[in-house]
Amino acid sequence: MQVYLVGGAVRDEQLGIPHRERDWCVVGANPGELEALGYQKVGKDFPVFLHPDTKEEYALARTERKTGPGYHGFDFDCSPEVSIEQDLQRRDLTINAIAKDADGTIIDPWGGLADIENRVLRHVSDAFLEDPVRILRVARFAARFSHLGFTVAGETLSLMHRMVDDGEVDALVPDRVWKETELALAGSNARVYFEVLRSCGALRVLFPEVDALFGVAQPERWHPEIDTGLHVMMVLDQAEKLSDELEVRFAALTHDLGKGTTPRDKLPSHPGHEIRGCKLIRRIAERLPVPRACRDLALLVAEFHTHCHRALELRPKTILKVLERSDAFRRPARFEQFLVTCEADARGRAGLENRRYPQAAFFRGALTAAAAVDAATIAKQTAERKIPTAIRRARKHAIAEFKSGTQVPP
């Protein structure tokens, strides 16, 4: 029985970056032998075991054979005769198909070390075609390692195109699509994830609402970058700089979806795109297991981001409407997420990446002023049916007082 360190730990070691976990491959053993040594079996589809002390995963070397469409359409051979080279051959990318034995010797039958040196994401073999999840993984690795200069090999991108054309992407289960997308959004350079999906045609299948934004014009006065898809990618960049919260980043991605449905005769303006965008966000959330917190913030930003941009021009009545509709009095932390996303939107424009955004501070001040109203005292002094109106009137007055005394720095 031989044990090899495999996968991301070997790759990251070669890249000189820390790795979070280690995976091991066992050659020349059967499940009974590992269980006799105290390993706990956890794999459902194929034999994977937890080490009795470290709890790290140990998988028997295996080969795979495609038997049906999608992610689950495989048969596996986990016999003791399967070699480490055969196991590595089934992996997605050459940089992930490297192993290290107990003596520290590197096993690299598919040129992974050279591709690490050249910063290339390349498929191991044409078996790549058999698993549509690999499209998502390549896009996510491209995003994760883009700061190191990694790009997708042309021949790998061609295979990804072919998989899309063959309908393999249609077999992806919603849970896996969201899982990979969530990991990309939570990481760095998420725009690269969506750009790679777009470059192979998968974006129009998995996220047609986002794909529809590319090539849609916006008024150059407000959007020097003009293209709505490019703008959304720039907003995503800014959201990463301002927040590490998944909710903010998802809202940044989806805030302008309505612009993809603007009638051509209305372009480059986008009247009503806010409400149209909300419908598309709900559609995504019905199709994929998007967390409720992500969905709700995205809906809030889509509907009210233009209000936030015009905060200094709004009447107290409208300011209060935004505060109430966003549930800012009860959920100030989410309202802060809303403001951060709106700031990312304002900065996600060519040449305006470092612009000031006083609207956020203004809305924070308006919320503080309105929240300071003594609702309990008003309730005691007012007939029950008139209490909501009286509190709302007092809050509007407080906002008006705040607004009249606000000076916006140049």
Provide, rounded to the nearest whole percent, the portion of the chain with pLDDT above 90.
Answer: 78
Residues facing residue 12 across a β-bridge: none
Domain ranges of the chain: 1-112, 208-404
Distance between CA 4 and CA 101 in Å, rounded? Answer: 5
The two three-digit tokens of residue 37, written as one number: 């040594």
List Cα–Cα distances, 197 to 134, 138, 319, 345, in angstroms.
11, 9, 39, 22
Q: Closest by alpha carbon to 74, among 94, 46, 96?
A: 46
CATH code: domain 1-112 is: 3.30.460.10
Give the tens place of pLDDT for each residue, 354-373.
999 999 999 999 999 999 99
Task: Please compute the mean of the pLDDT values over residues 80-89 and round it to a whole number.
Answer: 93
Task: Please compute the mean of the pLDDT values over residues 229-249 and round it to a whole number.
Answer: 97
**In the structure, what pLDDT confidence band is assigned to residue 192 with cuts at 50, 70 and 90?**
very high
Distance between CA 161 and CA 147 in Å, rounded? Answer: 24
**Torsion angle of C-alpha atoms 149, 153, 157, 158, degrees rounded to 10:** 160
Q: Which residues contact 318 (CB under 8 A, 6 or more apart)?
A: 307
- Nearest 5°: CA angle at 241, between 236 and 244? 85
Give the tens place of pLDDT for each residue, 115-134.
999 999 999 999 899 899 99
Give the tens place of pLDDT for each residue, 32-83.
899 999 999 986 767 899 999 999 999 999 887 766 655 555 677 888 899 9
Provide, rounded to the nearest whole percent, the portion of the chain with pLDDT above 70.
Answer: 96
